[in-house]
């Protein structure tokens, strides 16, 4: 039989959805090389020649004929530098190495589990898949913290952790950060509409195998949610 979690008992629980802004474009070759060189990544059985080789291979530069396009893209996206790339979108290995870059960040999230990340806000759980984050937090029922306030506080805390334990240049995407009550029934159809729009936007553009799997997971989750709403409506 499932037991209640003492940390969340008699508390309101929320899920904060966040995204790392332009993550693949912001991972510089030096950043990836530093992450690959961490002791936590190495094992005694590893071939020591692999790490400098990986750092060399994962250091892409643009053809001179693309210089104007690269400059335009850099200005449009407000990137500090895009002359060299470490994780090209579409490369199957990019998702794997993206996780290596954020190992220290992941550990910081793990250490913070069960602690207050802001006054009255308890970190219950944290999940990351490449550049997507799901943060589970709990607040007291009598808290005067609104959903928007809660989203702002959690976002600020995540940004601080990312700055301290992540890498320079990585940041959250404000426009892709949103919050929903866990198990809440407020405006379920509106939430489903938002999910549909996100899926539609995702499938309209280019995506690699990892992104394709995420889209399929989102579609399956949406289908299950629709079935739940339908059964609830039929039961009255």
pLDDT of residue 7: 54
Q: What is the pLDDT along the chain (236 residues), one digit of tens a residue?
A: 333 355 555 778 888 888 888 888 888 888 888 888 777 777 788 888 888 888 888 888 889 999 999 899 888 888 888 888 888 777 777 878 888 888 888 999 999 999 999 888 999 999 888 888 889 999 888 778 888 888 999 999 999 998 888 667 788 888 888 888 876 544 444 455 566 666 666 666 666 777 777 777 777 776 666 555 445 444 54
Same domain, 217 and 132: no
Same domain, 54 and 158: yes
Same domain, 133 and 229: no
- Residue 230 inside a domain? The answer is yes
- Residue 163 inside a domain? The answer is yes
How far, in Å, CA of 7 to CA of 27, rounded? 36
Same domain, 97 and 198: no
- Residue 5 inside a domain? The answer is no
- Residue 7 inside a domain? The answer is no
Same domain, 93 and 192: no
| Overall domain count for the chain | 2
Residue 139, φ and ψ in degrees, nearest 5: -135, 160
> What DSSP letter does each residue of the chain carry, written as one string?
-----TTTTTSEEEEEEEEBTTHHHH--HHHHHHHHT-GGG--TTS-TTHHHHHHHHT-EE--GGGHHHHHHHHHHHT-S--SEESS-TT-TTHHHHHHHHTHHHHHHHHHHTTSEEETTEEEEEEEEETTEEEEEEEE-TT----HHHHHHHHHHHHHHHHHHHS-TT--B-GGG-EEEETT--SSHHHHHHHHHHHHHHHHHS---HHHHHHHHHHHHHHHHHHHHHHHHHHT-
- Residue 98 inside a domain? The answer is yes
Quick one: 231 exposed, middle or buried, by C-beta within 10 A (0-12, 13-18, 19+)? exposed
pLDDT of residue 155: 92
pLDDT of residue 116: 92
pTM value surpassing 0.85: no
Same domain, 203 and 171: no
Same domain, 191 and 171: no
Same domain, 163 and 205: no
Same domain, 215 and 123: no
Whether 203 contacts 219, CB under 8 Å: no
Same domain, 76 and 122: yes
What residues make up the domain containing 17? 12-186
pLDDT of residue 128: 87
Same domain, 156 and 201: no
- Residue 6 inside a domain? The answer is no
- Residue 91 inside a domain? The answer is yes
Same domain, 225 and 178: no
């Amino acid at each position: 039989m499932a037991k209640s979690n003492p940390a969340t008992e008699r508390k309101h629980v929320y899920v904060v959805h966040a995204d790392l802004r332009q993550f693949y474009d912001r991972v510089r070759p030096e950043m990836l090389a530093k992450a690959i060189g961490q002791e936590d990544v190495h094992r005694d059985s590893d071939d020591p020649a692999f790490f400098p080789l990986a750092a060399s291979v994962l250091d892409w530069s643009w053809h001179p004929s693309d210089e104007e396009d690269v400059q335009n893209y850099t200005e449009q996206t407000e990137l500090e530098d895009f002359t060299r790339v470490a994780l090209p979108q579409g490369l199957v290995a990019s998702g794997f190495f993206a996780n290596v870059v954020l190992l220290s960040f992941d550990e910081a999230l793990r250490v913070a589990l069960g602690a207050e990340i802001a006054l009255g806000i308890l970190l219950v759980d944290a999940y990351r898949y490449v550049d997507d984050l799901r943060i589970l937090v709990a607040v007291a029922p009598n808290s005067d913290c609104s959903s928007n306030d809660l989203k702002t506080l959690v976002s600020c805390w995540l940004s601080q952790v990312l700055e301290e334990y992540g890498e320079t240049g990585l940041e959250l995407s404000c426009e892709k950060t949103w919050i929903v009550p866990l198990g809440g029934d407020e405006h379920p159809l509106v939430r489903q509409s938002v999910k549909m729009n996100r899926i539609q936007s995702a499938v309209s553009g280019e995506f690699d195998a990892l992104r394709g799997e995420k889209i399929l997971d989102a579609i399956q989750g949406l289908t299950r949610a629709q079935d739940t709403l339908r059964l609830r409506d039929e039961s009255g």
